[in-house]
Structures are given as structure tokens and as C-alpha cells.
Structure 1
Amino acid sequence: MVKKIRLLGDPVLRKKSKNVERVDETTISLIKDLFETMYATDGIGLAAPQIGVSLRIFVMDDGKPRVFINPEIIYKSEEKEIAEEGCLSVPEVFEDVERSKEVTVRYMNEHGEEVEESFVDYSARVVQHEYDHLQGVLFIDLIPSSRRFAIRKKLIEIVRQSQKTDYAERP
């Protein structure tokens, strides 16, 4: 089911998410909701806190759909790249963010199997962005304070939820 996206100002987005104890029917249902919501909102990645669930799960589709359960970034390259990012939880805000060019992640997939995988360039950026959600970090936390100050009115609007979104729950 397509779920409502939680916006900046919702406390669930600032909590460190809890580990998933086991992959069961509830977990599989959450994964389906994450994919359906991500695709319905034209996202490339979506973390459980963004739909109000404080668990360490995110999904992404960079050409290959993947499920990350209890992910840990075990390597980040020293080489960095700056590129524009946006977020469904901070709608209509796009800012340059510096991230590692390459990361390696250890995670469990939807079958409960442990996976270790490396990502580069755009895929590495998406993994880091979604992983940050599980830590209670938003991309706007990573931009210079001068930029946050410049967009403060927009951020306040989002917090007040005065901005209308088209993310109503749909079956």
C-alpha cells in the first residue's frame, strides 16, 4: 500500500532507527509498502522512517531493486563528490551535498541473507542518503549553515506542513 511520506518536522525522521529482529510477514509487508510508495512518488530510494516506521530498512532501485535490512556502511572512500540531492521528506528543496564516491555496505536482504556489496557514484550517493535516514540525519543537515539559512523559509513551511503534498495513502 502506498503510504504517506513523513515530512521535515515529524519526529520519526530524527530518531535513530531500531534493528529488525527477524524477517517475517510484517517485515515483508513493510518492504512492499516501501517499494510501492517509492515508485508512486518517483523516488529512487526510500527508508522506513519516511513512512513513519522507525526500523533499519530501506529500499532503492538504481536499475536493480534492492532491500537493505540492518545495513552498516563498512567502507567509505576518501574521494568525495558534490552533487545535488533532494528528498521526498523535504519536498521541492534541492541542494549540493558532498558524499563519498564509493561505499561498501553489509546488510541483510529480504530473504534474511547477509550481503556485502560495493556501490559507486550515483548508487553510492543513494545508499548514503537512505542510510542517513536510519540514523536520523537528513540531507539538509549536511549542507553549509549559510545554505540552510538561505532556505530557512522553505524549511519552516515544510515543518508547518503548509505545503500540500500529493502523497496520500492509496491501495
Structure 2
Amino acid sequence: MVLELLKYPDERIRLISGNVRFFDDSLQNIITDMVDTMKANGLEALSAIQIGIQYAVVVIKEADAYKPYINLRIITTSGETVETERTPYYENISVDVPRHDKIKIFYENEKGEAQYADLEGAFSRVIQHQLDYNYGSTFVDRVDKETRKRINEYLPKGLVVSSNSSCPTVFYRDYIKRAYKYVMLAVWFSFLPPFFIDDSAVMAKLFLFDKIALGTVPFLIVGYAVYAYYESEKYKQCTSCQTGNIIGTSGFALAQWMVLGVIAFFWMGI
């Protein structure tokens, strides 16, 4: 059955979608209605909330098939790209939106079976765009303040806002993540001088630097995790604030630190 798409200024677009706990005919009916609506409107992707259904279901057209992504979550992210996006909700509006270039996702299929996928490029962007809707957000929450102001002035009733805080364009936790990445990068570079310098005094200073740097990294990672969790509670509608994403990023960073520590122990003699 073809259902009506939510259009501006319908405030239901800001509702946060609940997780699907039933994998039966009623779920299949929702998916069927979503596919019918996509075909009728020529859409390549659709989130259930865009037709007023408050469940975490996303359907993506892949070639000639329509694939559902249920209870979709982003686990890890990397890279950034900026491209123009549109939405049937805000008609006649298109803006440049920053997104992660590569993501790892978790989702469930129609049978409730856990699935994982590594995505990049255009398809990664489509997934992120649709996932925003599940958290009561749209692409206008991801643009800078000046762009949001122009869109707000253009719309006859202004932007439709959430009862929660909108997604900020900058998360302070990213500064902490950048700090521990730079520290670990500096340790990697410290492995190079022994190939070119034969000075025990210089080597001793490098060894001391590596000890201090490697001892600092886990505190920075823990600080990132704690502050990221705080931001996830503050900005619950943002896809990048998911707890799974925070845990995945922190775990990956700790694994990198451990590998670096082992290499430093054997190579530098720490």
C-alpha cells in the first residue's frame, strides 16, 4: 500500500524511532508499504518515520531489489566527504552535508538475524542520511550555523526543531580523539631516528618521550569514551552519538595502542 510521505512542516519527522522487536508478518507489511511508497515516488531509500511509522526500519534500493535494514547502527567511522543532499521532506532545498566516508554497520534482516557490513562512498552516505531520520534528525542538523540560518529564513514557518538539542556540527570528543591519534603517530615517527642517528643521548630522550606518550594515550582514550558518552546522552538524536559507535571507536583505539606498545617494547627497548 502506498502511504503518504511526511512533508514540511509535519513535526512527526522529529520523532525518534523505536527498535523493532517483532519479526513477523506485521514487520513484512511495513516493509511492503515502504517499498510500494518508494516505487510510487521514485525513491532510492526510505526510513519508516518518513511515512509516519515510528520503527527503526530503513529500506534501500539496491539494483532491482529493495533491501531492509532493521535496527541499523553505525559501529565505526573514518574519513569525511562533503556532498550535496536532498530530502522529500524539505522540498526544493539542497545543501552540502559533511558525512563519514567509510562506516561499519550492524543491522538485522527480516528474520532478526544479525548482519554486519563495511560501506564506503555513496552508499555509506545514503545509509547515514536515512539513519538520521531514525534519531529524529535531518540533514539540516549537520550543516554549519550560517547555512541553518539561511534555511530557517527561507522556510515559511522556519525549521522544524526537535524537543531535544539538535546535532552540533562539532563534537568536543573529536578533539580528544584527535589528540590521542597525534600522540600515537608521534610514537610511530620516533621509530625512524635509530636508522639514521647513532647517539645514545638522543636515543635516551626518544625512549623517554615514548614512555610518557604511551602512558598518556590510554587516559586520553578513556577520557574520549567518558565525554563521548556524555554527548550521547545530550544529543540522543544524532547518529554519530550512538553508544555502539563510541565503544567501537574506543576499543579500536585501545587495540592500536596495545600493538604500538608491543612494537615499542621490542624495537625501542622500552
Q: TM-score, normalised by structure 1?
A: 0.86
Higher fraction of strand: 1
Q: Which has the larger radius of gyration?
A: 2
Q: Provide closer, same or farther for how the CA distance between residues 118 and 67 of structure 1 changes in structure 2, counting only shifts above 3 A.
A: same
Contact kept? 2:74, 2:104, Cα under 8 Å = yes
Contact kept? 1:58, 1:131, Cα under 8 Å = yes
Aligned counterpart, 1:126: 126
Aligned counterpart, 2:149: 149
- How many residues matched? 159
Contact kept? 1:7, 1:159, Cα under 8 Å = no
Contact kept? 1:62, 1:123, Cα under 8 Å = no
Q: Indicate yes or no: 2:72 matched with 1:33.
A: no
Shift of 1:149: 1.9
* Alpha-carbon distance between aligned partners in 2 of 1:157 and 1:66, rounded to the nearest angstrom: 35
User: Where does the alignment leave 5 or more consecutive residues of structure 2 unmatched?
Assistant: 161-270
Aligned counterpart, 2:97: 97
Q: Indicate yes or no: 2:113 matched with 1:113.
A: yes
Q: TM-score, normalised by structure 2?
A: 0.55
Shift of 1:159: 7.0
Shift of 1:9: 2.9
Aligned counterpart, 2:247: none
* Alpha-carbon distance between aligned partners in 1 of 2:89 and 2:97, rounded to the nearest angstrom: 16
Aligned counterpart, 2:68: 67
Shift of 1:93: 0.8
Segments ≥4 residues shifted beyond 4 Å: 157-160
User: Where does the alignment leave 5 or more consecutive residues of structure 1 unmatched?
Assistant: 161-171
Shift of 1:11: 2.6
Contact kept? 1:7, 1:158, Cα under 8 Å = no
Q: CA RMSD in A?
A: 1.8
Aligned counterpart, 1:163: none
What SS does the corresponding residue of 2:155 show, helix, strand or coil? helix
The one-character-per-residue Cα deviations of 1:17-51 (angstroms, maximum 9, x if unpaired) are 11111111111011011111122212211001100
Matched to 2:122, the amino acid is: Y
Contact kept? 1:47, 1:59, Cα under 8 Å = yes
In percent, how many aligned pairs have the same letter? 28
What SS does the corresponding residue of 1:91 show, helix, strand or coil? coil
* Alpha-carbon distance between aligned partners in 1 of 2:84 and 2:66, rounded to the nearest angstrom: 22
* Alpha-carbon distance between aligned partners in 2 of 1:158 and 1:3, rounded to the nearest angstrom: 26
* Alpha-carbon distance between aligned partners in 1 of 2:159 and 2:9, rounded to the nearest angstrom: 5
